[in-house]
């Protein structure tokens, strides 16, 4: 088993990575049961594919299961109200630990609910998608979407533990797997060119189901994120902001496509990263060869790297208008993650949105 610690002093927590971990869940989360009971929150798809395996792994512990609709629409005020009401009905107390069993949507929603329920109770992340395993389950960012944009209502609330079983990826649709892979490649693009080299060589293995490649990709990504979160938990120094590479462009694309299955989050991030590198090249910050290399690898991995591939055909002004709702906006300025090359991402706070608009119009 690989164990990685997110170092946050008294709030530090372990991330456990091992094939078959779901079947041994009781050994790790059983201590969180109160009166031999645990509450699991999941969605319809995960319940059908994976809940029996988790239930078997929790043999001897009574479980209450809350099953929510699958999809980005579940990260909403309505579902937050439905979930918190049900948790209250079940008598969940501040000392309890809720199991968030699903992808990023379930992890974000359950984490946010846990942060506000009775002024804060605990939760455990058991991510079931590659994207959630390498990114959203680690670091304590929780949120729901609002009509104005993605993740605009939320809190920082760290889990007590993260259990990652790579075997659950075997039931993941190929499109979801590719979407998660975008976040794997991101870690090489932000500050480790050698890992991006590894992705170019082994990315196909990760997507094809090679067990060793998947464990290596997950473990490297988690170590990278744990290190950055430990250095800058609440994104105050700018270090953690590096993890947002591709997200400013990507969230605008998601907003334009209605936060729907037209464009999955990881697909939007992939396109956003390609756009960020091409915009950086257009601004003379990095060479065009690096930008082309990024776009080629993402496209080769089955991910969108252009607006057309992301099913977006709208003006730069429309996309920039979506960006105006970004939660990172400060003093009327929107910071962008740009690059001086592969593995050389930096936070730019002086980007002219008119330049972004013109660039996006040229990308159509």
Catalytically active residues, by annotation: 119, 141, 183, 225, 235, 240, 244, 247, 251, 265
Beta bridge partners of 4: 15
d(CA 16, CA 48): 24
The structure tokens listed for 72 are 């980005």
DSSP H helical ranges for the chain? 25-29, 44-49, 51-57, 77-89, 104-116, 130-131, 174-191, 193-208, 211-231, 247-256, 265-282, 288-300, 316-323, 353-363
d(CA 177, CA 332): 36
d(CA 207, CA 223): 20
Q: Are strands 336-339 and 345-348 parallel, antiparallel or unpaired?
A: antiparallel
What separation in angstroms does the CA of 319 have from each of 192, 270, 359? 30, 16, 11
Beta bridge partners of 339: 345
Rounding to the nearest 10 degrees, give the CA dihedral for residues 144, 69, 301, 249.
-30
Residue with tokens 């709030």: 11
Contacts of 128 (CB under 8 A, 6+ apart): 46, 50, 101, 102, 103, 168, 172
Nearest to 146 by CA among 337, 325, 348: 325
Rounding to the nearest 10 degrees, give the CA dihedral for residues 72, 77, 81, 82.
-30
Angle between helices 316-323 and 353-363 in degrees, nearest 10:
130
């Amino acid at each position: 088993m690989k164990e990685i610690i997110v170092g946050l002093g008294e709030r530090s927590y372990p991330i456990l990575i091992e094939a078959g971990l779901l079947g041994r869940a009781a050994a790790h989360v059983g201590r969180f049961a109160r009166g031999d009971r645990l509450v699991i929150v999941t969605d319809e798809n995960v319940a059908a594919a994976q809940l029996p395996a988790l239930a078997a792994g929790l043999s001897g512990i009574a479980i209450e299961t809350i099953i929510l609709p699958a999809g980005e629409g579940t990260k909403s005020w309505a579902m937050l109200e439905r979930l918190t009401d049900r948790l209250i009905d079940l008598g969940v107390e501040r000392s309890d630990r809720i199991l968030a069993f699903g992808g990023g949507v379930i992890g974000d929603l359950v984490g946010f609910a846990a942060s506000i329920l009775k002024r804060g109770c605990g939760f455990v992340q058991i991510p079931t998608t590659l994207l959630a395993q390498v990114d959203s389950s680690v670091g304590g960012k929780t949120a729901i979407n609002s009509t104005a944009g993605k993740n605009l209502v939320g809190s920082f609330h760290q889990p007590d533990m993260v259990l990652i079983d790579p075997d659950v990826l075997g039931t993941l649709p190929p499109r979801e797997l590719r979407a998660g892979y975008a976040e794997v490649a991101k870690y090489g693009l932000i500050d480790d060119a050698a890992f991006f080299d590894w992705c170019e060589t082994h990315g196909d293995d990760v997507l094809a189901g090679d067990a060793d490649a998947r464990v290596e990709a997950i473990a490297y990504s988690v170590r990278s994120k744990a290190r950055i979160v430990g250095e800058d938990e609440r994104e105050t120094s700018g270090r953690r902001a590096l993890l947002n590479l591709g997200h400013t462009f990507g969230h605008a694309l998601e907003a334009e496509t209605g936060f729907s299955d037209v464009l999955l989050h990881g697909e939007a991030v992939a396109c956003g990263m390609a756009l960020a590198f091409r915009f950086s090249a257009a601004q003379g910050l990095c060479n065009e060869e690096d930008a082309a290399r990024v776009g080629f690898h993402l496209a080769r991995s089955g991910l969108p790297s252009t607006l057309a591939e992301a099913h977006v055909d709208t003006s730069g002004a429309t996309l920039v208008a979506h960006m105006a709702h970004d939660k990172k906006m400060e003093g009327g300025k929107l910071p962008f993650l740009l690059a001086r090359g592969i593995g050389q991402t930096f936070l730019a706070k002086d980007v002219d949105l008119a330049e972004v608009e013109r660039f996006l119009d040229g990308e159509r």
